Amino acid sequence: MTKSILLGRPKGVPAMRAFEHPSSRAYARLTGALYLLIALAGGFSILFVPSALNVPGDPAATFANIARQRALFNAGLVGDVVMMTAEVLVSVMLYFMFRPVNATLSLAASYARLMMVAVMAAMLFFHAASLALADGTMSLNSFSEAQRVELAGLMRHVHDAGVWIWQIFFCLHLLLLGVLVMRSGFYPRFIGAGLIVGGTGYLLDSVQMFAFPEATTLETVKIALLLIVTLAEIGFALWLLIRGPRKSTSAALAA
């Protein structure tokens, strides 16, 4: 029975039982599938939708785009919700997966990722405020239409600035996760190294955007690091989904 649990979901056991065995391949595959879901939903809602709707430095044009493409904007919100829901599940599942390696670091990594999700959720309040101001849902009789749009633009700027905050927590998560991956023996060490080295790109992006927006050298280094961590995360997700933990390590931990 132990061998069947380590190699995958036992025959006749419902799919939900995969949550009960963090060292099993079924558990790893479910985690990997959720990880890829985060990548797809996040790529759509964080990268594609803003690039299609935002006009830098022109709040009026941005909200005019949103009004014309409201379906795309709402789809982006759905993507945010899907991503954050999957993030909560992945945070907890990674904790149990790496708890045998180091319980303290695994818990800290989980908390850091959950803090990232909390910031992302809080950002949506400013998103809602900016829309209410821009489309006239919120009645402000003492403000002209131009003033409402400018205030809406400020709310949207605060929303976007939330990225600088959640990236700090995500950087911490990736550093800890990288250490756990490298120490575990479950997965290739180069994946852990990629998470550690590339994860600093998120911190560098926050520092650059907040303090040095014109620094082209930081921009180049940041892009290189973010490319590394993207490849490492996708590689980790695919390894979880296709291969799962190494048998010898799983068997040793279960013994």
pLDDT at 8 over 50: no
Task: Please tell me which residue, 246 or 154, carries the higher pLDDT value.
Answer: 154
Is there a contact between 31 and 97 (Cβ–Cβ < 8 Å)? Answer: yes
Return d(Cα 56, Cα 165) in angstroms, integer. Answer: 20
pLDDT at 41 over 50: yes
pLDDT of residue 59: 83
Q: Hey, what are 9's tokens?
A: 């979901």
Q: What is the pLDDT of residues 182-210, one digit of tens each?
A: 999 989 999 999 999 999 999 999 998 88
Task: Please tell me which residue, 158 or 137, carries the higher pLDDT value.
Answer: 158
pLDDT at 249 over 80: no
pLDDT at 214 over 50: yes
pLDDT category of residue 3 using cuts at 50, 70 and 90: very low
Cα 61 versus chain centre, distance: 28
**Geometric angle at alpha carbon 72, from 66 and 77, rounded to 5°:** 95
Range name among 3-12, 26-35, 83-92, 151-160 with the lowest pLDDT average: 3-12
pLDDT category of residue 16 using cuts at 50, 70 and 90: low
Is there a contact between 45 and 86 (Cβ–Cβ < 8 Å)? Answer: no
| Torsion, CA 184, CA 38, CA 32, CA 12, rounded to 10 | 130
pLDDT of residue 88: 97
Mean pLDDT of the chain: 86
pLDDT of residue 255: 35
Q: The whole model's pTM is what?
A: 0.85
Place of tokens 């935002």: 54
pLDDT of residue 7: 43
DSSP assignment of 51-119, as one string?
A: HHH--TT-HHHHHHHHHHTHHHHHHHHHHHHHHHHHHHHHHHHHHHHHTTT-HHHHHHHHHHHHHHHHH
Average of pLDDT values for 219-224? 93
